[in-house]
């Protein structure tokens, strides 16, 4: 069966005008000004007059098996549900472990990736957790990345944070080199997702790795770059050389500490950070803890949700004046390109039919994942 979207204001994510899009199987077959329904086959026609058609969103930092645990067993977060993705317009996730690389396993993340795929959505994962040396599936990060199709890199590795394993620059450099080579051999991104904590000069370990090795800044995706004012100020300069990831779900829980994601996007662009260096992720199903700065005691904990990405994209457009075709890139083409997610992130012929239909108020009208309408 074919699906034909008619008269849609189409974003690839770049705006290309009013188009028709024909989908067959899991792929986009054609994008054109006008497409007649093919004869002799069953065609479902979806009238998109007055609606926007954009790529399905990519959430590339999700604790798909649940995160948390910093406050003891009662603070463990539940795993991701497919409904959380569909309600958020998300068709692709990248899973990871976080603080708890002890009672939660990389193997369980892999099986959750397979479960998400079996339910028609798309998923990849990072091997490892906060700790160095990181937990793995095969006993070696190079083997995980090279041999396991779903594994694209390492993360999230914690630095500049009291919950990290306080890795040395030598340890981080070796980890980075191994991830890079494994990515080359396996045809993967081979990137390291870095959890950035609250320490001052938080990017210093990454600067030191680049200065002391042949590695470049684009070997890393530092996340939570809007968690406080001083890391965000550093991110304005760091982002000119490497990638910066903005966490969307922690706002509005920490309004007094964090930079609102939509406003962070505007400020990064105004500071000269290239749009292709910026991503939005939700940190969904991970804990959003608050600690007493003097005692280190956990005093607050929340949980992130994927729908925060679309909310912040909407507000980047409606409140901060960023064109939709710019704002969309942070959760579509950018993560697809950075993480080498083949077939994802674009509305183009031959790409996977991950399609999000929005009305003028950014309400989700339809969501298609891999050629099937799921909402």
Return the sign of the alpha-carbon dihedral for residues 86, 82, 94, 224: positive
Would you state the structure tokens that stand for residue 175, as one six-digit string? 């980890």
Q: How far is CA 145 from CA 171, 217, 272, in A?
A: 18, 20, 33
Per the annotation, the verdict on 337 as an active-site residue is no
Q: 152 CB contacts (<8 Å, ≥6 apart)?
A: 94, 124, 125, 126, 145, 183, 188, 189, 190, 191, 339, 340, 341
First to last CA, the chain: 17
Among 374, 375, 369, residue whose Cα is nearest residue 23:
369
**Residue in 161, 283, 307, 354 annotated catalytic:** 283
> Could you tell me whether strands 15-24 and 27-32 are parallel, antiparallel, or unpaired per DSSP bridges?
antiparallel
Instruction: Provide the annotated active-site residues.
Output: 283
């Amino acid at each position: 069966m074919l699906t034909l979207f008619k008269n849609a204001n189409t974003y690839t994510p770049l705006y290309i005008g009013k188009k028709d899009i024909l989908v067959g199987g899991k792929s986009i077959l054609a994008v054109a000004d006008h497409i007649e329904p093919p004869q002799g086959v069953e065609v479902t026609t979806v009238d998109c007059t007055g609606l926007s058609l954009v790529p399905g969103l990519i959430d590339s930092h999700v604790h798909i098996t649940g995160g948390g645990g910093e406050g003891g067993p009662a603070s463990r977060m539940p795993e991701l549900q497919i409904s959380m993705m569909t309600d958020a317009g998300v068709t692709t996730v990248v899973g990871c472990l976080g603080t708890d690389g002890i009672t939660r396993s990389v193997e369980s993340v892999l099986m959750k990736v397979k479960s998400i795929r079996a339910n028609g959505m798309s998923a990849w994962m990072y091997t490892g957790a906060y700790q160095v040396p990181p937990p793995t599936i095969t006993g070696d990060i190079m083997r995980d990345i090279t041999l396991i199709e779903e594994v694209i890199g390492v993360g999230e590795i914690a630095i500049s944070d009291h919950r990290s394993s306080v890795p040395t620059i030598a340890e981080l450099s070796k980890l980075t080199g191994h991830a890079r080579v494994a990515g080359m051999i396996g045809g993967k991104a081979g990137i390291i997702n870095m959890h950035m904590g609250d320490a001052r000069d938080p990017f210093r370990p990454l600067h030191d790795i680049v200065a002391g090795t042949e590695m470049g800044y684009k070997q890393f995706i530092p996340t939570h770059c809007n968690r406080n004012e001083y890391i965000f100020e550093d991110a304005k300069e760091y982002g000119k050389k490497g990638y910066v990831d903005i966490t969307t779900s922690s706002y509005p829980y920490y309004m007094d500490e964090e930079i609102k994601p939509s406003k962070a996007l505007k400020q990064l662009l105004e500071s000269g950070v290239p749009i292709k260096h910026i991503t939005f992720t939700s940190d969904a199903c991970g804990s959003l803890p608050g600690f007493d700065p003097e005692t280190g005691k956990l005093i607050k904990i929340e949980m992130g949700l994927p729908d925060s990405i679309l909310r912040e994209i909407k507000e980047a457009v409606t409140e901060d004046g960023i064109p939709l075709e710019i704002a969309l890139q942070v959760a579509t083409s950018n993560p697809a390109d950075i993480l080498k997610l083949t077939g994802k992130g674009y509305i183009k012929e031959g790409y996977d039919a991950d399609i999000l239909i929005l009305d003028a108020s950014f309400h989700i009208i339809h969501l298609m994942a891999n050629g099937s309408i799921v909402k």
